[in-house]
């Protein structure tokens, strides 16, 4: 046997003892032969990649056909080995798996192309779900070795991973893959946020580990006394999930991290409920935090009992109680089908999606992909559907319908039938009339009233509150067909309104050529289609205006505007010379000099002077965005140089980026005061992803002191980046 395959075979023997090792070795030999002259970006032989992908899949316990397809997945695309040869050598099943993975890799550029890739994935998945499992393992190994790619490629792949692949892994219940994909992509996209969370986690780890050990010992002791065989262990904390919880629950890091997580693994379902009773006998449960996913499994086959109790020292402890088989399925999801087939669904060929099975969600995706002509819209629906949890409601006849959390009777109507949705005029929930925008809860019985009028149709307002991708697609489709003219007028009006709001020249920007060029750029066949897209809400009017302005070279900025935005830093009553600003104009020491507010230059920066009309010389940094416009009038540029005196004062603007928490702003302002800087202005914005961005403008006498200021601010807990910015006003 080839010694290179020994680690792979060791894993296969442990997870899938009946696998055909000779077949796997033959697949490896064929792949190694055809990839023999190829290298990866890291310089390693190319065969290391398919081998690593096969090893990841072997750890999941997949079957030998999947492992062979993983070893061969790049041969058809990257080598002279044809699909027909592969079919002859390994049979139809392995060939169709390789073909499915190859198709997913074909389209790789741009947003619409990415959506198209995802569509192909959906079609491939619907035929055999193992195609997606290979693709997820392929993406995981690529993410592990991502550091060898150029930066823009790394960011593109990481964003795709966070938005598409990690949620798909979650939908398929493959949590081990999901967590690693998320952490790798998080570290690549937001390295500073990742490092800050890692730092905060490591600082608190020793204290937390002691508490965790105490809880585990008490739970283990209680279960032993109750004669329940169990494995009790702490749940690992994944950095991205810590960050996500900070965003979702809108709480500080300490509140999330102090929540201890314990996992209890037992032998049978009966033991799960017995263990729950034992734990509740010791500690009081937190009301509303108990979830029984054993009786009501999640969409991705996940089963477990979840409870939160008030543990030692009054601290909350989260517990998950499940059987070993449930745990395997929670970790490996759909891939665990092969190991625990008798427990999951009805018999059938491996990988095939059976209607009515736990994977019926894939069927729904396939329906969308037939309905939705615009790939971007399909991708938006998919992203939305991947990111939400579900509620289960009943039709009057008792049929269960799954809808996204927060869904309304309109979502329910469209889930029943498109025509029911279009003609919906009212709803009754649990026997009571309710508004159409009411949120539905688990177990609600919903009855829809429809209109018999031939002109009945959806309302545009429904788009503001519907939650399901299906309802949104159907409503938009209806307006696309029935209301195109209205949409064109609405779009034209919206663009005009956005321009007037900004005081932009309507005639010049709304000219036929500029709009037609923009429509083509955005992949619309003509200007009417662009107007209609704005009217229907596919494209924001503000977006169109920004792109139009950019296409004609930006808004014309007069020098006077620039002069007005510059800020004199000299004190009142000072002579008109440049001494107060610390700048001297070549050839004339008695010129009023002002440091521009748009880039706040300080000694050490390269600077240029611009003679304004009636406002002296405005001084800009050499890399200021406005300098390009000023260079169009070279006769008004003058040479300037630094000459700071003891009474010179300079404006500095800095930006602080931090993970949001209580008292963050007061800590930053106190640190700045401790550094003896005079704060003139401060602004703070907090984004939905728990990042607080603060901008401070302050006066400094000695710019060399700036390095100490930045270092002091960087040491504040939660701050992951601080730097000087080129605009005092932000």
End-to-end CA distance of the chain: 65
Element housing 161 (H / E):
none
Token code pair at residue 37? 């002259």
> How far is the C-alpha of 462 from the C-alpha of 471, rounded, in Å?
9
- CA 215 to chain CA centroid, Å, is 34
Beta bridge partners of 394: 400, 445
Distance separating alpha carbons of residues 71 and 403, to the nearest angstrom? 39
**Whole-angstrom distance, CA of residue 596 vs CA of residue 562:** 8
The tokens 């050990």 sit on which residue?
A: 213
Q: What is the chain's alpha carbon radius of gyration, rounded to the nearest angstrom?
A: 31
Q: Evaluate whether 172 touches 218 at the Cβ level (below 8 Å).
A: no
The CA-based angle 379-369-189, given to 5 degrees, is: 20
* Given the residues 25, 59, 65, 78, the one annotated as active site: 78
Residue by residue, DSSP assigns 124-143 as: HHHH-THHHHHHHHHHHHHH
Q: Crossing angle for the helix pair 269-282 and 191-225, nearest 10 degrees?
A: 90
Q: For residue 385, give the 3-state DSSP assignment.
A: helix
From edge to edge, which strands make up the β-sheet containing 719-724? Answer: 678-686, 691-700, 650-659, 719-724
Query: Strand pairing of 691-700 and 678-686?
Result: antiparallel
Q: Which two tokens stand for residue 281?
A: 């006998």
Largest CA-CA distance found in the chain, in angstroms, rounded: 95
Task: Please name the residue ranges forming H helices in 234-356.
Answer: 239-249, 253-257, 269-282, 324-332
CA 730/CA 728 separation, integer angstroms:
5
Residue pair 568/574 in contact by the 8 Å Cβ criterion: no
CA atoms lying within 13 Å on the CB side of residue 649: 12
Of 609, 718, 612, the closest CA to residue 667 belongs to: 718
Q: How far apart are CA 368 and CA 474, in angstroms?
A: 10
184 SS3 class = helix
Strands of the sheet containing 617-621, edge to edge, are 593-595, 617-621, 607-611, 637-638
Residue closest to 393 by CA, chosen among 371, 420, 372, 411: 411
Please name which of 360, 482, 237 lies closest in space to residue 246, comparing C-alpha atoms. 237
- State whether residue 234 is helix, strand or coil: strand
Cα–Cα dist 488/7, whole Å:
62
Q: How many residues does the chain have?
A: 730
Examine the residue annotation and report whether 77 is marked as an active-site residue of this protein.
yes
b (16+ CB within 10 A) / e for 574-584: eeebbbbbbbb
358 is catalytic: no
User: Which one of 77, 255, 267, 447 is the catalytic residue?
Assistant: 77
CA dist 241 and 249 (Å) reads: 12
Nearby residues of 387 by Cβ (< 8 Å), 6 or more positions away: 167
Q: How far apart are CA 670 and CA 677, in angstroms?
A: 10
The DSSP symbol for 726 reads: S
Catalytic residues: 77-78
């Amino acid at each position: 046997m080839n010694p290179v395959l020994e680690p792979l075979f060791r894993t296969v023997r442990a997870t899938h003892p009946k696998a055909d090792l000779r077949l796997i070795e033959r697949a490896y030999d064929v792949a190694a032969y055809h990839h023999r002259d190829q290298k990866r970006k890291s310089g390693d032989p190319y065969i290391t990649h398919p081998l690593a992908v096969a090893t990841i899949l072997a750890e999941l316990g997949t079957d030998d056909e999947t492992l062979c397809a993983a070893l061969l997945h790049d041969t058809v695309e990257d080598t002279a080995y044809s699909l027909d040869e592969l079919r002859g050598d390994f049979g139809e099943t392995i060939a169709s798996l390789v073909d499915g993975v190859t198709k997913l890799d074909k389209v790789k550029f741009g947003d619409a192309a990415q959506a198209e890739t995802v569509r192909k994935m959906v079609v491939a998945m619907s035929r055999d779900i193992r195609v997606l499992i290979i693709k997820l393992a392929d993406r995981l190994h690529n993410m592990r070795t991502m550091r060898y790619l150029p930066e823009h490629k790394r960011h593109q792949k990481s964003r795709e991973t966070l938005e598409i692949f990690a949620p798909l892994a979650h939908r398929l219940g493959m949590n081990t893959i999901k967590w690693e994909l998320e952490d790798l992509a998080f570290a690549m996209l937001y390295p500073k946020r990742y490092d800050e969370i890692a730092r905060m986690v490591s600082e608190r780890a020793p204290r937390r580990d002691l508490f965790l050990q105490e809880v585990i010992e008490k739970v283990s002791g209680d279960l032993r006394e109750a004669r329940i065989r169990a494995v009790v262990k702490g749940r690992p904390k994944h950095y991205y999930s810590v960050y996500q919880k900070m965003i979702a629950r809108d709480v500080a890091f300490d509140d999330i991290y102090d929540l201890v997580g314990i996992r209890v693994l037992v032998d049978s379902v009966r033991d799960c409920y017995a263990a729950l009773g034992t734990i509740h006998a010791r500690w009081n449960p937190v009301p509303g935090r108990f979830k029984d996913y054993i009786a009501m499994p999640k969409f991705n086959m996940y089963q477990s009992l979840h409870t939160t109790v008030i543990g030692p020292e009054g601290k909350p402890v989260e517990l998950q109680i499940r059987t070993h088989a449930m745990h395997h399925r929670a970790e490996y999801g759909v891939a665990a089908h092969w190991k625990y087939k008798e427990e999951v669904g009805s018999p059938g060929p491996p990988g095939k999606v059976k209607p009515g099975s736990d994977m019926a969600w894939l069927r729904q995706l396939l329906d969308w992909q037939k309905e939705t002509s615009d790939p971007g819209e399909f991708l938006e629906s998919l992203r939305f559907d991947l990111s939400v949890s579900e509620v289960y409601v009943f039709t009057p006849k008792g049929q269960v319908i799954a809808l996204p959390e927060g869904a309304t009777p309109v979502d329910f109507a469209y889930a029943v039938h498109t025509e029911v949705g279009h003609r919906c005029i009212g709803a009754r929930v649990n026997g009571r009339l309710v508004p159409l925008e009411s949120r539905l809860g688990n177990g609600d019985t919903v009855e829809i009233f429809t209109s018999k009028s031939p002109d009945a149709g959806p309302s545009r307002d429904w788009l503001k509150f519907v939650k399901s991708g299906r309802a949104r697609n159907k409503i938009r489709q209806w307006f696309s067909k029935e209301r195109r003219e209205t949409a064109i007028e609405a779009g034209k009006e919206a663009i005009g309104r956005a321009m007037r709001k900004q005081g932009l020249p309507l005639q010049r920007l709304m000219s036929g050529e500029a709009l037609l060029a923009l429509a083509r750029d955005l992949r619309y066949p003509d200007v009417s289609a662009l107007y209609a897209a704005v009217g229907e809400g596919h494209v924001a009017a503000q977006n169109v205006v920004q792109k139009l302005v950019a296409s004609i070279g930006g808004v014309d900025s007069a020098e006077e505007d620039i002069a007005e935005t510059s800020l004199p830093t000299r004190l009142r009553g000072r002579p008109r010379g440049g001494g107060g600003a610390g700048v001297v104009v070549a050839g004339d020491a008695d010129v009023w000099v002002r440091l521009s507010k748009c880039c706040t230059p300080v000694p050490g920066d390269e600077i240029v002077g611009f003679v304004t009309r009636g406002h002296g010389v405005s001084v800009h940094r050499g890399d200021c965005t406005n300098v390009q416009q000023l260079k169009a009038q070279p006769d008004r540029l003058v040479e300037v140089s630094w000459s700071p005196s003891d009474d010179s004062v300079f404006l500095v603007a800095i930006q602080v980026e931090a993970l949001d928490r209580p008292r963050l702003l007061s800590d930053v302002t106190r640190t700045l005061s401790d550094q003896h800087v005079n704060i003139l202005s401060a602004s703070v914005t907090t984004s939905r992803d728990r990042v607080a961005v603060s901008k401070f403008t302050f006066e400094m006498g000695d710019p060399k002191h700036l390095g100490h200021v930045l270092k002091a601010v960087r040491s504040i807990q939660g701050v992951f980046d601080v730097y000087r910015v080129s605009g005092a006003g932000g």
